[in-house]
Amino acid sequence: MSIWRRYSLQNARRVLENPSLLQGELRRLRKDALNANAYVSRLLNDDERVNVMAEDWDNLVILDACRYDMFAARANIGDRVTSKLSPGSESWEFMQESFVGTEFHDTVYVTSNPHAYKLPEGTFHAVVNLLDDHWDDTFRTVMPETMVEQTLAAFEQYPDKRIITHFMQPHFPFIGEKGRKLGHAGIEMQLDADEHSGEPHPWNALLYGETDNESEIIEAYVENLNVTLPHVEQLVDELSGKSVITADHGNLIGERTYPIPIRTFGHPGGLHKRELIEVPWAEIDSKERREITAEPPKASEEIDDDVIEDRLRNLGYAE
């Protein structure tokens, strides 16, 4: 008898003896199926991925978890709007493939994404991390208007550097009118879900059938994008040089993943399904191109570990 079969039989016996364990066992099986699908997707998907740092831009605006189709249907920004394939299906995978192992001392990274703290010291000329001083305690994220303000401040401070600005939206938490009604209740659901699985809410709750709010959650996700786009448009209007708007990854909203045909939500790491890794690439041309120079990096400001853990939890990341 194989180890897998013995393990399965042991679990079946445990559930029969204690039916309250059934939900947890189903969650485990779905998670195992998702991991298997992710493995197969990496084997089969060998299309060329974008190297964002090798592309032509002075300003790179990254929207977190933004699907290409949703952006293309709603955004009226850019001289050319196409799509590219991200090297990752979640933020840290994107950062590892795009930034880690190379030095970009001609670039300043303004970010509201908590995974940025993992980047090796000296990756960029400077990192402006907004998770501490510019965190909004009400919405439990860094708001898009704050991103605009702080990106323009960084541009003023570093006029001869490329600028990357990493918005947290349209990623959860939800900041729109509909999303706010869902979101604060959703935060409580998130903490409850984390106790059971360590997976992010709300997409995890949909994946495991723990909420019937599918349409409301998707509407809130789209609303996050709608709320953020005017701020992005304002930002690129005020920045000199060529700008590109893209995303670190997309987001699944119920598409089936294979070979085990399960509906999937969110952005599981390592799952290279096209709808998840296809991201917008909107180019905004400029007659004025900045003269970019590289200089030795500045030391990054340290953020307390407790702050990082709190931000990760509130943004729905597993820890």
Task: Give the pLDDT confidence score for residue 24 in this predicted structure.
Answer: 66
180 band by pLDDT with thresholds 50, 70 and 90:
confident
pLDDT, one tens digit per residue, over 58-96 is 999 999 999 999 999 999 998 899 999 999 999 999 999
205 band by pLDDT with thresholds 50, 70 and 90:
confident
Is residue 213 scored above 80 in pLDDT? yes
Selected residue with higher pLDDT from 251 and 194: 251
198 band by pLDDT with thresholds 50, 70 and 90:
very low
Task: Give the pLDDT confidence score for residue 314 in this predicted structure.
Answer: 76
Selected residue with higher pLDDT from 309 and 2: 309
Q: Select the highest-mean-pLDDT range: 22-31, 144-153, 268-277.
A: 144-153
Task: Give the pLDDT confidence score for residue 185 in this predicted structure.
Answer: 44
What average pLDDT does the segment 213-239 reach? 96
pTM (2 decimals)? 0.87
Is residue 1 scored above 60 in pLDDT? no
Is residue 187 scored above 60 in pLDDT? no
Is residue 186 scored above 60 in pLDDT? no
What is the overall mean pLDDT for the chain?
86
Task: Give the pLDDT confidence score for residue 308 in this predicted structure.
Answer: 81
pLDDT, one tens digit per residue, over 106-118 is 999 999 999 999 9
- Kindly write down the DSSP assignment for every residue of the chain, as one continuous string: --HHHHHHHHHHHHHHH-GGGHHHHHHHHHHHHHHHHHHHHHHH--PPPP-GGGS--SEEEEEET--HHHHHHH----SEEEEEE-S-SSHHHHHHHHTTTS-EEEEEEEE--GGGGGSPTTSEEEEEE-TTTT-BTTTTB--HHHHHHHHHHHHHH-TTSEEEEEEEEESSSP-SHHHHHHHHHHHHHHHHHHHHH-PPTTHHHHHTT--S-HHHHHHHHHHHHHHHHHHHHHHHHHS-S-EEEEES---EEEEEETTTTEEEEE--TT---HHHHEEEEEEE--S--------PPPPPPP--HHHHHHHHHHTT---
Is residue 14 scored above 70 in pLDDT? no
The percent of residues in the chain predicted with pLDDT above 90, rounded, is 63
Task: Give the pLDDT confidence score for residue 6 in this predicted structure.
Answer: 46
Selected residue with higher pLDDT from 296 and 4: 296
Task: Give the pLDDT confidence score for residue 122 in this predicted structure.
Answer: 95
